[in-house]
Structure 1
Amino acid sequence: MITTTTWQHTFTNYQNINNINPTGHQHLKIFQPLATKRIRLQLNNLYDEIPLQISKLEIYIDPQDKKTVTLDGNIDFQVEARLIEWSDWIDFDIPENSFLNIDISSPNQTIHSVGMTISNNLIETDLTDTAIPKYFFGVSGIQINTAQTYKKIAFFGDSLTNQGNFSAPLSKDLEKDFQIMTANYGIAGNRLLRPGHSTSPWSDSFGEAGFTRFDHMLADYQPNIVIFMEGINDLLHPGTGSPITELPTAKAIVTAIRILKEKCRQHDAKFVPMTITPAEGNSNDNIAGWNYEKESLRQAINSELRQLPHVIDLANLTSENNQLKPEFDCGDHVHFSVTGGKIIAQYIKDQLIRKKMV
């Protein structure tokens, strides 16, 4: 049998969030595209300084048929600080294209190793409002036993990827229609060239520079295709929490992206870059995040990206007069709306089919 990752979502260091688990219980539903008879969960405590105590962890499709997840044979266990561990394998029948329910009981109320989503397409929490970020802890990946290998796509980027408004519906379509497994390696606030360094209370969660964490993704996930979209935060953050001196040149961004493309080639993975979408009109704490210089940089970067093979020109799809078209704008002039995300997902899917990647 072959071990196959059917769901993976990047956790980051939300040091500014306290009492994420006030009730001591968390319920998740996570889409599972493949049928299986054995499953295990990735248990994530990577950014906390104390163990994550798990008093009970159960999975089920039917509430009348729950399975207890164990670690080293123990029902009540802990995930040590700064570690990621895999649970024991559990014998469990899961039908294809189903939602796996996960119930976690933990006495830890403040947990900083956390994932985030806005979309409900792949991950459902007790919150269902599509305008509200949903934070979850404990489980960051799912693996199953399969009889064959499956192609894998990694979505790598910042909040535009992490929130899931385009990546989650696209993932679900790719998994259901083509049996291609996907993973979300987006981190909100992430920059390509620099780690989190800001006066923002969210600075710790911005993560290490995309340029260096890209290597971890390639080694850990070993994707066949990487759909890449980063660079907008390298332009947005300087002057709005980060020093304006950190504003990069267009050459620096393009050079870094070309290096990532070469790294993908060395790992026998296709690199699919996407152009940087607009951010005119965005502000942070009433400070304008965009100006003429930043727009000129975006245009220069995109001009170079359009010369790369396999590029998907998302900027051209979503832009009008250097601004997000209303149907794509969630309201902050940077992030995608639910409706816009679905349009983008279909566009990328059509492009991947046209490029004969799926």
Structure 2
Amino acid sequence: MSQLKWKATWASEMIHYENQQQTFENTTQHLLIKNNLAGNKVRLLLSNKFGTAPLVIDKIYFSTTENSKRYFTKIITKNQEVQIIVPPQTEFFTDELDYEVAVGETLLLSLSIKEQQTLNTLGTTIDTSLFTSFFDSSLPTPAFFLGICQVDILTENHSKTISFFGDSLTHQGFMSSAIATQLYKQYPGKISVCNAGISGNRLLHTTNSTSRYATTFGVAGLDRFQDDLFNDHSTDIIFFLEGTNDLVHPGNGSPLTELPTSQDLIDGIKKVQIIAEKQDCLLIICTLPPFKGYTNEGNLVWNSKIETTRQEVNQWILQQENVIDVDKLVASHTQPTHLAQKADCGDHLHFNQYAGQLIAESIDWSNWI
């Protein structure tokens, strides 16, 4: 008989948007999430992680849809109360909800807020093929979502969770969504995908920048790795791509003294390997993609010293056991220090949807799942 276990069918990092706070009043937020797990109980992780005032949620409705057919709706509670108050600096799980969820259904969560609230703990995504959010009212910007950062389903223990960890290249969602779409078709009921990317995040250093977006960059990847991947949900496979901002930020908003050597970055990744091994978790490490031509804080960031560091780190990564050579996949064939034009969103560092699809199609998961 299979054991049942809480597994995250979807999760996304909440970001500290101190300088991009959003005000909500008399509105309902809707989240649509593609689901690949089956189970009979649901719970949510709610977040006010960086808040300075309570987050007051009047109601959260949960239902599922399939082929445009919407199934019955239930209310999510906390301590059997419909109105849920999330204190500042807090995350917690809701009560368990009895609800039959099937593979292939879309989860629909509707979160209502009445009183005016200005929030700095928010989630975002660029790719909307795996999940999307929208509001009844036109404001605030639909790109932001609030409150809900994880959906768990009580499911059979044989399913595996793949967590994507990194910076904006991960946070965008192009890689994780393309890979999830592929795997959900190949392994129905057996895989879920979570995104632990934070734009601007560095592996070795907590945010230390003059950028107006500095608070969004978060604590060092090394400092959040354990918490973000293992504390609130189990992770079986980690898709790791981080280190680009360690090369890009110093001298461009962050102190130049924080520019790492190749050995510094390698040592950082080795620490990640140790944590993953202790958690009995498969770690897949990606090579660092090129970024010549990218500007940060108005400055061209690339130079030959940084490029040498990137190449040395990538050479070491390619010697590891479980590797995806993202660099080779997205680099220009004629100018390998540049992103290929067809993979470039336009700023010469970040991926577009094609790049995510290219990476997804290059991976043979049969040895890892």
TM-score under structure 1 normalisation? Answer: 0.93
Corresponding residue SS for 2:147? strand
1:204 aligns with 2:211: no
Distance 1:59 1:108 in 2: 23
The corresponding residue for 2:263 is: 251
Instruction: Name the stretch that deviates more: 139-148 or 56-65.
Output: 56-65
Distance 1:125 1:20 in 2: 16
Q: Pick one of 295, 315, 323 that aligns with 1:303.
A: 315
Q: Pick one of 351, 356, 359 that aligns with 1:336.
A: 351
The corresponding residue for 1:41 is: 44
List per-residue Cα deviations over 1:309-329 (Å, max 9, x = no partner): 111111011112110001110
By how many angstroms is 1:282 displaced? 0.6
Q: Pick one of 157, 160, 164 that aligns with 2:169.
A: 160
By how many angstroms is 1:219 displaced? 3.3
Stretches of structure 2 lacking an aligned partner (at least 5 in a row): 136-140
Contact 1:61 1:99 in 2 (8 A): yes
Distance 2:156 2:237 in 1: 22
Pair 1:304–1:124, CA change in 2 (3 A): same
By how many angstroms is 1:50 displaced? 0.9
The corresponding residue for 1:30 is: 33
Corresponding residue SS for 1:324? coil
By how many angstroms is 1:26 displaced? 1.2
Contact 2:30 2:133 in 1 (8 A): yes
Aligned 1:131-170 pairs, distance under 5 A:
134-170=143-179
Q: Pick one of 95, 98, 120 that aligns with 2:128.
A: 120
Two-structure CA RMSD over aligned residues (Å): 1.8
1:275 aligns with 2:287: yes
Q: Which runs of 4+ in 1 moved over 6 A?
A: none
The corresponding residue for 1:102 is: 109
TM-score under structure 2 normalisation? Answer: 0.90
Stretches of structure 1 lacking an aligned partner (at least 5 in a row): none
Instruction: Name the stretch that deviates more: 13-22 or 332-341.
Output: 13-22
By how many angstroms is 1:21 displaced? 2.9
The corresponding residue for 1:57 is: 60
Distance 1:329 1:252 in 2: 28
* Residue identity matched to 1:334: L
The corresponding residue for 2:184 is: 175
Contact 1:53 1:108 in 2 (8 A): no
By how many angstroms is 1:22 displaced? 5.3
List per-residue Cα deviations over 1:214-251 (Å, max 9, x = no partner): 12235323322211100000001112111122111111
By how many angstroms is 1:133 displaced? 8.7
Contact 2:7 2:152 in 1 (8 A): yes
List per-residue Cα deviations over 1:110-153 (Å, max 9, x = no partner): 211111111112211239xxxx9922111011111224331222
* Residue identity matched to 1:200: S
The corresponding residue for 2:119 is: 111
Matched residues, number = 350
Distance 1:226 1:146 in 2: 20
Contact 2:26 2:116 in 1 (8 A): no
Distance 2:359 2:5 in 1: 33
